[in-house]
């Protein structure tokens, strides 16, 4: 009885505050963890396409290893989360009166408390970007999900099929699972690919890696494999590495390898037109938006078999897969690409562009509208 009265009071408050009539703007609250440029691009594209939405974005501090700079829109209010500011943020959320809440995972207790508070008056959607690995923790979560997650959230939004399987195991039904959560900034990267393919000519003998300098990315395996492959094929290729991290000081020094540090997505426009092949050697990558960005930029790819987004953007027509951590196999794939003709490489580049163009910012907005309908 008490729970029913609480729901009734929340609904009455919803109406008395004028939430159904005081504004035509749909109020969407986003409870996010670590921001990245591609997510902001999605949100800004949403606001550009639709003027009937207002967004309140709560997010973690920007990662020092990936210090993206964001230029936010007027209809997007952004607040940085910290434990010390939870009371203030809770008041701002109350004033905002969200009708839709998009929540990044379930690790933040404050975020979950917000979901609980507004679950009677808002549609709640959880973002899931982890894959099902069958760990004891995931099995435990699978058991309690019907009594917890499934009661908090009416839908889930995931990057692709590897995460869809996890969502199904957590009890979400087919019509509650939506894919396409992570989308590259097609306004930025697609013109690069279009221009490259139109220009053609000599294929750039430049490989590129966009990854943090952390153990998970396994960059040393790439560096060693590239040096050997390049030597075996005549030292005609260059490797440009973009990123920063705790292992940056341990980067290898080689005349054919350049380390550029972290570069803002917009600044990549100066490098991608002269880049030929993208390589990502990660030991584990739940998704990997950089793969989408590079596919859209018309780059053939070599990816480890532990990268989630390879399931959507890579096949045998635009690149190769190798066993994560297997330097000899990676070297073999690199040498195979280095031996191809310009014509063959441009065909692969065109297919990468085709694969990358299957998912764009418009698709992200369309999916969100389906979710909140």
Q: Two tokens at 302?
A: 């070599």
Percent of the chain with pLDDT strictly greater than 90: 83
Question: What mean pLDDT is predicted for residues 285-297?
Answer: 96
Q: Per mean pLDDT, which range of 97-101, 146-150, 320-324 is the poorest?
A: 146-150
Cα–Cα distance between 263 and 244 in angstroms, integer? 9
Lookup result for tokens 């199904």: 168
Confidence grade of residue 252 (pLDDT, cut at 50, 70, 90): very high
> If pLDDT is split at 50, 70 and 90, which confidence band does 144 have?
very high
Query: First-to-last CA distance in the chain?
Result: 30
DSSP 297-339: TT--EEEETTBTTHHHH--TTTEEEE-TT-HHHHHHHHHHHHT
pLDDT mean over 108-134: 95
List of residues 6+ apart from 65 with CB closer than 8 A: 212, 213, 214, 243, 244, 245, 246, 262
Check for a shared fold between 2-182+360-372 and 186-356.
Answer: yes
Q: Is there a contact between 290 and 210 (Cβ–Cβ < 8 Å)?
A: yes
Chain centroid to CA 353 = 18
Q: Contact at 8 Å (CB) between 39 and 181?
A: no
Of 36 and 101, the structure prediction assigns the larger pLDDT to 101
Mean pLDDT of 117-142: 94
pLDDT above 80: residue 68:
no
Mean pLDDT of 120-140: 94
CA distance 203 to 49: 37
Identify the pLDDT of residue 13: 46
The tokens of 200 are what?
Answer: 């053609």
User: Which tokens sit at 22?
Assistant: 């005081």
Residue 14 has a pLDDT of: 45
Q: Is the pLDDT of residue 244 over 50?
A: yes
Residue with tokens 């990267």: 189
pLDDT at 16 over 50: no
| Strand order across the 155-157 sheet | 76-80, 53-59, 26-31, 100-104, 123-127, 155-157, 177-178
Q: Which long-range contacts (CB under 8 A, 24 or more apart) does 167-173 make?
A: 167/128, 169/132, 169/138, 169/142, 170/128, 170/141, 170/142, 170/145, 171/142, 171/145, 171/146
Q: What is the pLDDT of residue 332?
A: 98
What does the domain layout of the chain look like in residue ranges? 2-182+360-372, 186-356
Minimum mean pLDDT among 72-76, 259-263, 314-318, 328-332: which range? 72-76
CATH topology of domain 186-356: Rossmann fold (3.40.50)
Asked if 54 and 27 touch (Cβ cutoff 8 Å), the reply is yes
Q: What long-range pairs does 174-179 form, CB within 8 A, spacing at least 24?
A: 178/367, 178/370, 178/371, 179/367
The reported pLDDT for the residue numbered 107 is 94
CATH label, 2-182+360-372, candidates 2.30.110.10, 3.40.50.2300, 3.90.700.10, 3.40.50.2000? 3.40.50.2000
Average pLDDT over residues 323-335: 98
pLDDT above 70 for 2: no
| pLDDT higher than threshold 90 for residue 73 | no
Rounded to an integer, what distance in angstroms lies between the CA atom of residue 342 and that of residue 227? 21
């Amino acid at each position: 009885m008490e729970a029913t009265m609480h729901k009734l009071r929340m609904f009455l408050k919803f109406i008395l505050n004028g939430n159904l009539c005081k504004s035509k703007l749909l109020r969407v609250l986003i409870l996010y963890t670590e921001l990245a440029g591609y997510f902001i691009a999605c949100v800004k594209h949403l606001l550009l396409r639709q003027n009937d939405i207002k967004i309140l974005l709560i997010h973690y501090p920007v990662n020092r290893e990936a210090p993206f700079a964001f230029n936010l829109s007027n209809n997007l209010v952004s607040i940085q989360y910290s434990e010390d500011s939870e009371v203030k943020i809770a008041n701002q959320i109350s004033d905002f009166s969200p009708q839709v809440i998009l929540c990044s995972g379930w690790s933040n207790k404050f975020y979950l408390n917000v979901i609980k508070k507004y679950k009677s008056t808002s549609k709640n959607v959880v973002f899931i970007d982890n894959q099902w690995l069958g760990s004891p923790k995931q099995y435990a979560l699978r058991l309690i999900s019907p009594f917890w997650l499934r009661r908090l959230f009416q839908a889930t939004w995931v990057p692709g099929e590897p995460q869809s399987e996890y969502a199904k195991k957590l009890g979400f039904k087919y019509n509650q699972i939506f894919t396409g959560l992570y989308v590259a900034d097609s306004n930025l990267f697609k013109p690069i690919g279009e221009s490259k393919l139109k220009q053609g000519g000599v294929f750039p003998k430049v490989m590129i890696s966009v990854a943090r300098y952390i153990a998970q990315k396994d960059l040393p395996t790439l560096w060693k494999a590239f040096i050997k492959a390049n030597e075996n094929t005549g030292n005609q290729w260059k490797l440009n590495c973009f990123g920063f991290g705790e292992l940056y000081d341990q980067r290898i020094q080689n005349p054919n390898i350049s380390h550029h540090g972290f570069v803002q997505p917009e600044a990549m426009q100066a490098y991608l037109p002269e880049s030929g092949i993208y390589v990502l050697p990660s030991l584990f990558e739940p998704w990997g938006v950089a793969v989408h960005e590079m596919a859209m930029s018309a780059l053939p790819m070599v990816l480890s078999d532990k990268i989630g987004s390879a399931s959507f953007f890579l096949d045998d027509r635009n690149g190769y897969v190798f066993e994560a951590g297997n330097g000899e196999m990676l070297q073999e794939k690199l040498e195979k690409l280095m031996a191809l003709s310009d014509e063959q490489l441009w065909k692969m580049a065109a297919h990468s562009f085709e694969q990358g163009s299957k998912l764009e910012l418009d698709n992200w907005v369309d999916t969100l509208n389906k979710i909140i309908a």
